Structure 1
Amino acid sequence: MLRYLNKVSGNIKQNKMKKIIYSKFGGPEVLQITEVPIPAVQETNILIKVKAVSINPLDWKIRNGEMKLMSGSKFPKGIGIDFSGIVEDTGTAATQYKKGDEVFGILDVFKGEALAEYILASENEIAIKPSNISFEQAAAMPVVGSAALQIFKTLVKVEKGNEILINGASGGIGMFATQIAKMSGAIVTTVVGGSGIQAVKDWGADFIVNYSNEDVLKGDKQYDVVIDLSAKMPFSKAKQVMKRSSTYIHTAPGPKEIISSFFINMFSSKKYKLLMLKPAPEYLAELTGYAASGIAIIVSKVYPFHLFEKAYTEVPNGKFIGKAVITID
């Protein structure tokens, strides 16, 4: 009888997984690890054993309650948007992937829940991981890579010889935006701190401004496109270095920026555009191609799963080059 109970107990445990959740808005302290059932595979779902999860500013903005109009206020909530892992099981109608496939992908931006041992995804939320990159690098791509692609595909058309200024270029979006802009033939000026100089140089930046000892706004150069990735160069300041017909891009807009951009765009030839991330399967496919061809993907900090609170405490305050990720064994 005891042997039977132990066997039953073991089976129950095998059907459980660890997941990070929070039950109220707040700082990293509201995050907690919990044990929940492994999600059941439905007809069109794919069950993925997660290997790595990227850390993004959206994570803490949603967790802090800054975006509750989009994310809602229903608890508990999971955290984490982009991930990499291995296909564990597939629904009967999910035919593009099979057990054992190494994949990466992006979940619903405002629901997330990737930071768990297992997740469910649909076929259009994932792509095959290129064999030449690690799980950590693959997890680092979807959000920031999709953001960079969306900027250049939907907000501004970059042509050869265009002058582009990327403020705060050493982070995740900057990593992809700098390299993609260069591939498009643009002349790229990056603004970074001292620790980011070598990285943007490696990514192909034509000009590098160290904000520690130089103010790009006091220079004589004028730009066709200004992309602010640091939230420290508002349109009111950026317009002084923008050409007569040019575009400013805000990558973390709130209600104030949405209203401001509407009125500015009515009256000014210097346009104010907002990045509202909308993941798409074609972005994952394009990122796969970039990764396979050797685009630089820098993961400068890796945290083990059990240090999730430390990760979400340090990353918002730190100055990391490229991306930081959490790994799950």
Structure 2
Amino acid sequence: MKAIAYQKFGNTEVLQTVEQKKTIIKNDEVLIKVKAFSINPMDWKIRKGEMKLMSGSSFPKETGADFSGIIEDAGSSDFQKGDEVFAVVKNMMKDGASAEYIAVPASLVWKKPSQITFAQAASIPVVGTAALTALEKMGNINSDTEILVNGATGGFGMFLLQLMKHKSAKITAVTSTKGFEFAKKWGAQKVIDYSKDDVLSQNHLYDIVLDLSGKMGYNAVKKIMKPQSKFLNPTPQPVEIPTSIFKNLFTGKKHIIVLASPSSKYAEKLIAAVNGGLEIEINKVFDFRQTQEAYQYAEKGGFIGKVVVEIKS
């Protein structure tokens, strides 16, 4: 079978198409014929070696974490061959979703809602779980809570804005001009165009700030945070994970790390949200042979929704 793998850390040029033996499943696993996998920022942070303390430095490595497809071998699970599903790899730091067939624990596989495409389903686990985790980290929010979401119309923001709709908070979204209507449709009351206004220069202070773009950083954001507030960071540098815990002991402005761990608890909530009308915007779909180009496109940023790679064989 074909897979996308790399033999060293680096930019997109290290991604290569390789031949591998078809995976044999273990007792608790199912084998899935992959139809699509989505692209997440953590993919290239791992590929570039920024997360090597957690990913390790052994090669080859594959890329991608969440995917969709069709059950090829259900093993001892309750699935049936032919079921349309979406799933996530067991260890996002060490495993990859960029292959024609993938064996994963049945506990990390869920039936695809019939009204969405494979590309949309592949986009659910990582950013959907991250959005739900961010909501948990916010704690109790109400109509007086002022929240700023930077990078609000990418994949993470798309889920987060829609999931926050029923929380009654005052949401300000920071996005590009082309993201304005999406941000408003998904639940933001106010939208700031980052190409025209510097959000860090405004006088307004927030209870919660989420930097989904990874471009602002806690030290820069502190100036627009209230004395007792939270900065939620879903794209931390490895050193920030332990140091934030220590620093939070001495300040009212908390630096909260958001790490997503997809599970059935989150998947069931996300499936319910999709069945309830949550939109999944796919910005662009690339063919498996264009995986390098897909990552080049995704890493430039500035798009709405998700970027996905499809396997059409």
Q: Tell me the TM-score range normalised by the shorter chain.
A: over 0.9
Gaps of 5+ in 2: none
Aligned equivalents of 2:54 and 2:264: distance in 1? 22
Matched, 1:157 2:139: yes
Deviation at 1:18, TM superposition (A): 0.9
Matched, 1:100 2:82: yes
**Counterparts in 2 of 1:100-249, with a 5 A limit?**
100-107=82-89, 108-153=91-136, 155-161=137-143, 162-249=145-232
Please give the secondary structure, in 2, of the residue aligned with 1:37: coil
Aligned equivalents of 2:45 and 2:238: distance in 1? 14
Please give the secondary structure, in 2, of the residue aligned with 1:321: coil
Counterpart position of 1:325: 308
Aligned equivalents of 1:255 and 1:85: distance in 2? 32
Deviation at 1:259, TM superposition (A): 5.1
Aligned equivalents of 2:142 and 2:114: distance in 1? 32
Aligned equivalents of 2:249 and 2:241: distance in 1? 13
TM-score, L = length of structure 2: 0.95
Asked if the contact 2:51/2:238 (under 8 Å) is kept, the reply is no
Counterpart position of 1:87: 71
Amino acid at match of 1:29: E
2:263 to 274, 280, 285: 280
Asked if the contact 1:126/1:284 (under 8 Å) is kept, the reply is no
Counterpart position of 1:255: 238
Gaps of 5+ in 1: 1-16
Amino acid at match of 2:14: V
Per-residue CA deviation, residues 304-325 of structure 1 (Å, 9 max, x unaligned), is 1111111112210142111000
Amino acid at match of 2:275: A
Asked if the contact 1:182/1:188 (under 8 Å) is kept, the reply is no
Aligned equivalents of 1:289 and 1:111: distance in 2? 29
Deviation at 1:158, TM superposition (A): 4.1
Per-residue CA deviation, residues 201-243 of structure 1 (Å, 9 max, x unaligned), is 1212100001111122333332111101112222222222222
Matched, 1:310 2:297: no
Per-residue CA deviation, residues 161-199 of structure 1 (Å, 9 max, x unaligned), is 121110111111111111112222221100111121121
Please give the secondary structure, in 2, of the residue aligned with 1:310: helix
Counterpart position of 1:43: 27
Asked if the contact 2:6/2:59 (under 8 Å) is kept, the reply is yes
Aligned equivalents of 1:110 and 1:237: distance in 2? 28
Amino acid at match of 2:142: K
Per-residue CA deviation, residues 36-84 of structure 1 (Å, 9 max, x unaligned), is 1211122211010111100111111111111111111111111110001
Aligned equivalents of 2:214 and 2:84: distance in 1? 35
Per-residue CA deviation, residues 118-172 of structure 1 (Å, 9 max, x unaligned), is 101112111111111111100011111111111112x221422121110111111
Bigger radius of gyration among the two? 1
Aligned equivalents of 1:318 and 1:242: distance in 2? 26
Amino acid at match of 1:88: E
Matched, 1:77 2:61: yes
Asked if the contact 1:44/1:90 (under 8 Å) is kept, the reply is no
State the 4+ residue runs in structure 1 displaced beyond 4 angstroms.
Answer: none
Matched, 1:32 2:8: no
Matched, 1:61 2:42: no
Aligned equivalents of 1:190 and 1:100: distance in 2? 41
Q: Over the residues paired in the alignment, what is the CA RMSD in angstroms?
A: 1.4
Amino acid at match of 2:4: I
Deviation at 1:256, TM superposition (A): 3.9
How has the CA–CA distance of structure 1 residues 262 and 41 changed in structure 2, closer, same or farther, with 3 Å as cutoff?
closer
Aligned equivalents of 1:150 and 1:158: distance in 2? 13
Deviation at 1:260, TM superposition (A): 4.6
Counterpart position of 1:19: 3
Aligned equivalents of 1:121 and 1:263: distance in 2? 36
TM-score, L = length of structure 1: 0.90
Amino acid at match of 2:191: I
Aligned equivalents of 1:199 and 1:112: distance in 2? 33
Asked if the contact 1:104/1:128 (under 8 Å) is kept, the reply is yes
2:273 to 290, 304, 314: 290
